[in-house]
Amino acid sequence: MAEEILAPFSARNRGAHAQIDNDCPETTRIGLLHLVYRLVEMKYVDGWKSASGELKRIARIRPDIDTDFDQLLLELRWDRVFDFCERLYGHLAENGYIYNHDIEGPVITTPRNEVQQYIADELQRLFLEEHLAFEFTDGLVRRRGRRNTAERISRAELVLGDSRLAAARSHFFKALRYFRNISQLDPEDVVKESVCAVEATARALFPSSGSTLGDIIQTITGNEAGQLPKAIAKTFHGMYGFRSAGEGVGHGGATGGAATKKLAEYALAVTASQIVLLVDLAAAAEPDVPF
């Protein structure tokens, strides 16, 4: 089993803020350059000519044109940098070897599959260091969740900056940490903590409406302006119900369905939207302050 790749202190210290999406910053490219230099030095790829040729192919530069590898990587379109990462793993990786003069030939020291694992681990570590909205798994660069999920999370993170929502923010960021733990995704805790974040938000914003999410939603549901329509209220009750009835989510022995990775992402996106909606409802209910 591969060792879990943990984000370094600098990334952990940033918290669960919006990740870099649709971009490959210069710092990421420089980190990738360091990795390629190391791979060439360790003879895990067949020298700079091979690496440069692959980079020129991806950039659609004629092979007979001289280019500087470092500069080309820094100028390459962001998505094609990730194409190079995939080719580095799948095409350029080779057996590591040393020459043994006694037998007049190379001796394999690191099989290609171990070289690929090394490259995958280093790329994943780089992505975590750079706080990218992508991960490197199974030889491919993949988005961490759908774009819709990332957008909903970003909006929720913004409104959770309200000092009244400190408890909700703590729960929501826990849900994000569970969701973004690539090697040990915990979908049950993603669901539990994200729903707890909604409940904590409701308690903070509607303190006189009840002590549980169900009570609060029932109190603020109605057909008047500024109230929660009954049909929409059912979505809150539904998520709260799954938090209690989902297998391994809230109670031992519950048989309300398994919390899969896809359901965990759905729960995260829905609860993020619910938090924003509750904040909007509470703001609308506040009396206008005359100046």
Residues 45 and 126 in one domain: yes
Find the mean pLDDT for residues 3-22.
66
Looking at 143, 173, 206, which one is the last position of a domain? 143
Q: Is residue 86 one of the residues assigned to a domain?
A: yes
Residues 190 and 261 in one domain: yes
Residues 81 and 152 in one domain: no
End-to-end CA distance of the chain: 64
Q: Give the tokens for residue 192.
A: 């539990």
Of 117, 133, 139, nearest to 28 (Cα)?
133
85, 123 contact by CB (below 8 A): yes
Q: Give the tokens for residue 151.
A: 């957008």
Dihedral of alpha carbons 16, 17, 22, 28, sign: negative
pLDDT of residue 288: 54
Q: Is residue 199 one of the residues assigned to a domain?
A: yes
Residues 280 and 223 in one domain: yes
Residues 131 and 30 in one domain: yes
Find the mean pLDDT for residues 155-159.
90
Q: Is residue 173 one of the residues assigned to a domain?
A: yes
Residues 84 and 167 in one domain: no
Q: Is residue 37 one of the residues assigned to a domain?
A: yes
Residues 260 and 152 in one domain: yes
Q: Is residue 41 one of the residues assigned to a domain?
A: yes
Residues 115 and 17 in one domain: yes
Residues 35 and 158 in one domain: no
Of 226, 188, 187, nearest to 206 (Cα)?
226
What three-state secondary structure class fits 223?
Answer: coil
Looking at 143, 166, 186, which one is the last position of a domain? 143
Q: Is residue 291 one of the residues assigned to a domain?
A: no
- CB count within 10 Å of CB 191 equals 28
Residues 42 and 152 in one domain: no
- pLDDT at 13 exceeding the cut of 70: no
Q: In the chain, how many domains are there?
A: 2
267, 207 contact by CB (below 8 A): no
How would you class 128 by CB atoms within 10 Å of its CB: exposed for 0-12, middle for 13-18, buried for 19 or more? buried
- pLDDT at 102 exceeding the cut of 90: no
In this prediction, residue 1 has a pLDDT band, given cuts at 50, 70 and 90, of very low
Residues 76 and 138 in one domain: yes
- pLDDT at 245 exceeding the cut of 90: no
The kind and range of the H/E element at 184 are: none
**Strand 134-137 relative to strand 96-100: parallel, antiparallel, unpaired?**
unpaired
- pLDDT at 281 exceeding the cut of 70: yes
Q: Is residue 151 one of the residues assigned to a domain?
A: yes
Neighbour-count burial for 45-74, b at 16+ CB within 10 Å, e otherwise:
beeeeebbbbbbebbeeeeeeebebeebbe
Segment 202-212, tens digit of pLDDT: 999 999 998 89
Looking at 143, 176, 202, which one is the last position of a domain? 143
- Fill in the amino acid letter for 201: T
- pLDDT at 289 exceeding the cut of 50: no
Q: Domain containing 85: what range?
A: 9-143
- Report percent pLDDT > 90 for the chain: 56
Residues 85 and 213 in one domain: no
- CB count within 10 Å of CB 174 equals 19
Q: Is residue 290 one of the residues assigned to a domain?
A: no
